[in-house]
Amino acid sequence: MQEPYLLELCNLFRRVSSEFYLRYVNLALKPGEVHAIVGKNASGKSTLFSVIIGNLPAEGGQVKIGGVPAVIKNPLDAGKQGIVLVGQNMQLFGNLMVYENVYFGQELLLNEKLKIMDNKRMIKNVEETFQKMNVSIHPKAVFGHLSAGEQQLVGIARAILSNAKVILLDEPSTHLSGEEKQRLYEAMKTLKAQGTSFLIISHDLDEVMAVADVVSVMEQGELLETSPIGAFDKNSLIEAVYGIKISSLYQKEEIPLGEELLRLTQVSSHAFEKVSFSMKKGELISVVGGSKSGKLDVARVIAGVCPGSGEILLEKETLPFGSPIESMRRGVVLASDETDREILKTSEEMVGQGATGTGMQKKMLSIKLAVSDLGKQFSSWTGLKEKEERMTGGNRQRERMEQALHKPGKVYLLCEPGAGIDVPTRARLYFEMQKLLKNGGGVILFTSDLEEALGLSDRIIALRRGRVVFDKPAKELTKEEISRQIEE
């Protein structure tokens, strides 16, 4: 007799809007199986996860757990029945220790009446869970000091300790370096062997090929095809999902380079030191490195969001550190998952500091007007934030990148531009980058995607632990060579 499926979705239906439905989805997940769901942005993948965990209760059909019909009204119900989501934006706290995050909201107590926590037992349990996952993270490490990959593993440990039998992973390796991805995949493999099942959403088809046993293609709220992963290679999977060939993704044109546009000389910050490079008009550079390399901090320093030292020249004139207003006025455009929050926070602090004395009222009024203008130019931050909260992760990233690429500027700093975005959307974004380069702009990608870096760049700069390890033409490099150089 066949063992019951760990999770079954039977004709699940959910109306999301007048135009979008989750349409009679059927899916079965075996113990110790990884099932990947792939599809274009807004195809219904994240909506399906929301229905499974009860954020959007199903309006029709049935969920079965271990062959038994289940009632899931909210994520708490789902967790009690062994289904846990580890998403792109986990609600974990940077100032708490790892074990405190793992047990947050479900703390073990020595004394129920006095609410005294059993820290020793929690630490021991977290240690044992990490051993079970075959990873080395200290339970008393400060969560905010961990790499992105380690934080993802902590999220999985939290799921395991809440007795999860099925773990839902939403874009699990976004922002992870190659080495961190491998650690994540090894942990999944270890847990698989112990009977834990995974349902994953991913736009990284290399990842799908590496970890999935079964893959389902979703479009407009329907599962169109479900097959063993062995039925595909990467090219055929791309064609099945997007209807295009991979060769059409990286269409780099030869653009004549102009005069020097940007130069960094011995630039340092808390996260990197003595970074020097230059960029010409029409040039696209990729800065690559692991999560501890400091690559994203380089972008923030150039944009004036974070303080730094050394010298930055934009069109041979000094660009001041720590002044996002001035950087933006001079043509520096930053796009990252925290762009608007970071820049407006920095700018509003300038206003909030205040001052007294002759002429200061006029100066403060000038800064306030600049911040007001900044808010309008930077995507109308409040409206964008509200809009983003209604979007899936991939659509949020697409919106940020599209808005950045349509702003007037000279130097475009794009952090993880393709993360969580489907192939056709990435192709459109890459085309927009080429248009900026033809018009004399410069683009710097701060990316963990080495194929993206190799496919689009004139030059690649690699960082490892805050230091430049090489600056070479992209055509002289391979993915394997870059991976070796940036491994942390």
3-state secondary structure (DSSP) of residue 393: helix
- How many Å apart are CA 246 and CA 237, to the nearest integer? 10
pLDDT of 170-182, one tens digit each?
A: 988 877 777 788 8
Separation between Cα atoms, residue 357 and residue 362, nearest integer Å: 11
* pLDDT given at position 356: 44
Q: What Cα–Cα distance (Å) separates residue 372 from each residue in 129, 330, 375?
A: 49, 17, 5
**CATH match for 7-246 among 3.40.50.300, 3.40.309.10, 3.30.420.40, 3.30.1180.20:** 3.40.50.300
pLDDT exceeds cutoff 50 at 389? no
- Does residue 1 have a pLDDT over 60? no
Q: Of the ranges 153-157, 263-267, 428-432, which is most confident?
A: 263-267
Identify the three-state secondary structure at position 334: strand
343 vs 324: which has the higher pLDDT: 324
Specify the pLDDT at position 464: 94
Q: Which residues contact 116 (CB under 8 A, 6 or more apart)?
A: 109, 110
What gap in Å lies between CA 299 and CA 306, rounded to an integer? 9
Neighbours of 314 (CB within 10 A): 19
d(CA 253, CA 430): 11
**Confidence class for position 242, pLDDT limits 50, 70, 90:** confident
Of 149-158, 246-255, 419-428, 447-456, minimum mean pLDDT range: 246-255
pLDDT at 462 over 50: yes
Asked whether residue 340 carries a pLDDT value surpassing 80, the answer given is: no
d(CA 227, CA 360): 68
User: What pLDDT, on a 0 to 100 scale, did the predictor assign at position 112?
Assistant: 78
Q: If you average pLDDT over every residue of the chain, what do you get?
A: 87
Q: What is the mean pLDDT of residues 238-246?
A: 83
Rounded Cα distance between 53 and 51, Å, is 6
Asked if 7-246 and 260-486 have one fold, the answer is yes
Cβ neighbours, 10 Å, residue 190: 15
- The span from the CA of 164 to the CA of 157, in Å, is 10
Q: With 0-12 CB in 10 A as exposed, 13-18 as middle and 19+ as buried, what is 156?
A: buried
Sorted by sequence, the CB contacts under 8 Å of residue 454 that are 6+ apart come out as: 460, 474, 477, 478, 479, 482
CATH, domain 260-486, list 3.30.428.10, 2.40.10.10, 1.10.1040.10, 3.40.50.300: 3.40.50.300
Task: Provide the pLDDT for residue 488.
Answer: 65
Structural tokens at position 308: 């730094």
Measured in degrees and rounded to the nearest 5, phi and psi for residue 131 equal: -65, -40
Whether 291 has a pLDDT exceeding 90, the answer reads no
Of 13, 16, 90, 83, the C-alpha closest to 53 is 83
Domain range list for the chain: 7-246, 260-486
**pLDDT tens-digit readout, 390-400:** 555 667 788 88
371 contacts 351 by C-beta, under 8 angstroms: yes
